[in-house]
A and B are shown apart, each in its own frame.
Chain A
Amino acid sequence: MTDLPMPSVLGYCDEWSVAAGETIRFRIGSLTRPRPYRAQLVRLISPESGPEGAGLRTEDVDAPLNGPHAAELRPIPAGSFVRVDREDAVAGLASWTVQALVQPMLRDREAQAIVSTLVAGQRRAGFALVVDAKGALAIHFADGTRISTGEAMAQGRWHHVAASLDATSGEVFLRQTPLPARGFDRPPAVEAAGHAPAGRLPASMLRIGAIGKPGPGPGHFGAWHFNGKIEAPSLADRALSPEEIRALAAAGSTMPPADCLRAAWDFSQGMSGTAVVDLGPRKLHGTTVNAPKRAVTGARWDGTEHDWRRAPAHYGAIHFHEDDLADACWPDTLAWTIPSTQRSGIYALRLDTEPGNPPFWITFFLRPPRGKANARAAFLASTATYSVYANYRARMAPSTVDLAFGALQQIDSTDMLAVVHPELGASTYDKHPDGSGVCHVSRLRPMVNVRPTGRLWNLQLDLCLLDWLEAQGFDYDVITDDDLHREGLSLLENYAVVMSGCHPEYWSGAMWDGLDAWLGRGGRFMYLGGNGFYWKVDYLEGHPGMIELRRAEGGTRAWAETPGEYLHASTGTLGGLWRRNGRMPNALVGVGFIAQGFDFATHYERTEASHDPRAAWMFEGVSEERLGAYGCALGGAAGMEIDCASTALGTPAHALVVASSTGHSKVMNLVVEEINSGFSGAYGGTWPAVRADIVFFETPGGGAVWSTGSISYVGSLAHDGYRNGISRLTATVLRRFLDRTPFEMPGNPA
């Protein structure tokens, strides 16, 4: 049953970090049919946190766009391919040969196009070289003629594929040739022949990895999307003989003889961008659509090289997926020019439809005017992490996740939109239908789980911090990861204190550099979360709003990156954990990810070090022995994902561990990057490192860092009307961090 009431009008915004005085544009539509809706602009104050929190609170914002509207039907052009928008690509061809190297990864689709001039629903003459429903190589013509080898290609194996048409005889020749691979399987090459209508091809666009499909611009729609890798597709303007094709296949080459070369696309050029280069005389260059994965191993990759920049010939493939999505390409629907007096905060445009249907929230972040600060403290919204988690489908897929979580996963009908409408694109926690990991995400699409409702995680939990700041009367600005990535130190130097969210997991190098430089100049940072500074991401040049992530080598991974594909296409640098890239979270904030478990959260206990005069001040008025044994995030302040100090991993020697959590269960398991070979027994209660540490240390520039090492922490702030030890401790630290008096490094002469 999928007829739970769901949000029926969705949307997203053009930029999600905007400043007062700027205009934000909303792109709103329905995936099913035109529908009426009401728009209401709100400021988000606290999330749907339940009885242990403040509960969902928003504040209406007067704006001209509030009120009833009509949403148009807006399809989403999901699926990646290469478009060659040159009408002379095949125009006038009577005899021809099309070739490619392919690594098919998925069957059970009507057809998956390798190279095509067809357009769905149109009968204009053309062809599509495809993997058919059986998984066999086939060629489909516009008049309905279909010729197939009838034998499935082995999934995951590279093949040379070719089809030719001789105009004089109308004969079609088709051959799929498995390329040599390690192991002892020896699938045979398969040939097929048939007849197709003769005639010259009309002017047509050409697609690699899909066929064309009409759809509203500016999106580029496709159909029959290929799931797998394609390398070195080529066109010849005559029918190569079967002997010529066999010889090329034996050599693993698709390059036509010079006398008939029409096009030969070389995917190993320009792997960081969208351009696709044709080596042929007509320069039929193409452009990738929807950010397929580039810098991926090709048919020639033999494991001797892992750096695509040094051996581009080994990386001549592109991996296409039917659910890749860079931009939903919806037109601007509503806009709001933000008054100069509008306060910084987290906002949303709430879209309400029929009674009983949940609303849809388009969340955005209002920063202070650029170059200015309206407060001495800033909340750094984890927009990189929010993006990476957007449209998380895997939580709804069969798995043994209950073993790792120690509880059932909880979803709601808004989450289910992501599986009911896979065209919304996935998160980097998901796999594509062909089993490969999702390594690109975009915010230019409706995001179903960046909202103040639903699972207490990421933004929802971060709103607990904002709610507390409001309740305690602290002034703050909201800034974002996206801002920090673009502006670096200059964004932060306006602030005395910066507070993270509960789970700032994904960081770009530029973000890290900015924070590091600011801390070196005396910044005071409150890391109020767990599992932060963990994965390396890059923002993609040429794809605004997109992030690249390769889950290389180790770590708590939703999927493991393909061997040979550990380097980002965008930057050519190693992806994966920051700790494997020479940047230790512990060195930056004193703690690093150590364990996760989701059965319950627990509390901290003070340490001897907390009585050191350097730290004792922060516990003034805090009398709880079990600090934080309450909260809306699994019932305690220390839980979900937790971090501990480790001088071996870079925690400064002078850092004070002022409190540590206790009482974790067997479900709170040590992270895999701390384990070299599998064993049991590394969990809460048995493994000393499995704990959340609250750590404090001073920095040479007069600043300081205070880290709580737990995702659950901020969920405890509102307990008992904000009158609790966690609230008091946090407030005391924040007040001291706002105080201009420099912190002194221990051992420094006064």
Chain B
Amino acid sequence: MNAIISGRSRRALLIDGQSLRSFELDDSAVAVSRTRLDLPFLFGDASDLRTIENATAQTVERKLREDSDFTLALDLVLISFDQELSEDLRQEALEGLAELFAEKTILDRVENVLYSKPLPEDSDLPGALSLVSSDQTSTIVQFLGRLRDYQLLITRVDQAWEAIPKETFGGEGNRKIFRVAALEEGLARTLVTLEASASTFTFLLKAGLNPSIQRLPNHRQVLQAWIAPFRRLREMPMLVSDQEEKEAFSEEQRFARRGKIDRRAVLREAVKRKSVIIEAMHRRDLARVHDLVDELVAYQQTNSESQHTAKSLCDLAMEAKDLGMTSLQLSLTERSVNIAPGDGWSWAQYADALLGMQRLTEALKAYGQAIAFDAGVVAKNGWAEVLKAQGRFADALAAFDEVISLYPDNVVAKSGRAEVLKAQGRFADALAAFDEVISRHPDNVVAKSGRAEVLKAQGRFADALAAFDEVISLYPDDRFARNGRSYVLLALHRYHDALDALPNTAPVDLQDWIAQHIRGMILLRLGQTVDSIKVFNYGLMNSPFLTTREYFRGALALSWLRNGELKKAEETLDLVTLATIQPAADVIRIHVFGAQNDRERAVKAYTNLKSTQYLLQDELTRELHHRYILENQPTKSEEWVFEKEVDMLLRAA
């Protein structure tokens, strides 16, 4: 027998020769005889009809139940992402979803749909995540976490699909049919999650062997076109720099022709393989990256020493870091440490990956190992950076001072020290520290930009603009300085100038995401609060860089506050963890708690500022203290407070 079923209308039509019968899911025991004239009315407006061939009535019922549960699960997911709905209801939807996901098929099918298109801007995935328990093993937490983490890849896979010419399918009709089949077979999901399953080649093979896909016209051409962007060779950067050439030469000298192994050839081969891996990283083909890394490790372990393998892994990890692929960076360095546990450089790189993921206690421990294994100044500076990230500014300062006493010309340590002074609010000292670095290293762009950042943090926006302009005149391509300048232009209310300086492409690297943050801040200040919320939400969900996510979070909290949604502002602020943004968040907390008449928590937020005296003296803090802690009448307007709160975030950014 054949059947047509609709999970949405919870109804099936059984077709057995000339006999037509239908049944309802809630009453499957009663099959009603039908004539063909009934058919138009059987399924209402349901558009999820599908056919089942050569099945028994029991199979049809089972599939109908599965379709109905799938439809229900999809509705519940969308409800849970809907910020227009109450939290109680969204939570109830997530609880219901957890029950439906007990059936793995339902979870798979929902993911097939959700991985086929990036989340629209009006979806609130972070909100849904905040409503579930923190139990990382729960199906729902993992489901939401995966969906968040894969958004960038989902977007790319979707863009690649949309870019396939209609003619490749053999017309629009065939394109629609292919889309339905691809969705049912979860092809987009497979492509997105290749990291865990297979390479693009394996994807092609599996998809090509799938009978549902095989029967579609031009399926091979379509699949090839779909994966093309993930295979296409990018224009490769110069992989072998002068420095690498030198390193290669010195390594060749160190390990010159021992036994019968041609060390020079091994090194050349390793460099070649690394370049192929980096190319795979650029196209985010993680499965391929892992395969190639396995091969590289096997090759180097056979033909070279462990520390060479570890060095290759660390080189790749640095590339991953630049691309915002923090998980990959961590896994590569972890592997490096396992292969060469006595290699200080590997420990330092591993610690850097942990720092990037804000796993600060582990990072400190790993830097400790790096120092013990003689990784030198890099590890010591890293150690101080972790202390700074932990908010232990006095310890960080002492650590940088120690490095400077040992390595008086180390610019990284000196700039790091100046950054700590800035974080402490000791702006005059920070300026002096940067000035000193600049006087001894006039070409150091980091110190020059750092100095401009201090001026920005002081709220001396005109001076900061001049400083950034100077950096950009010397280094026109310095995107850090360009973004810093845009922040300042925004603070000076020169919105169009700020916007003009921002890229119009989809964010990929760190500076792109910072630009996205600036864009959201401009919208916020222009009064387009709903749009700013969308931008910040999007950044929070999609940025692979943990630090930028924290800045998106802070800005999102301010947007909620501006929108009068105090509870949401409070909950968003609760999730801010980055030490460098915490003081600014505390100032906003005074406002959020105070406005909710929660004086106790407002006082606590105010008390937290005791380690950042400059913020205690700030006119915004004083006004909020006056209003919500001393419970006096406001002395400033709401607009004034909002302006100052935006400025505070810009200064902290």
A associates with B: no
Seen from chain B, the residues whose Cβ lies within 8 Å of a Cβ on chain A are none
Seen from chain A, the residues whose Cβ lies within 8 Å of a Cβ on chain B are none
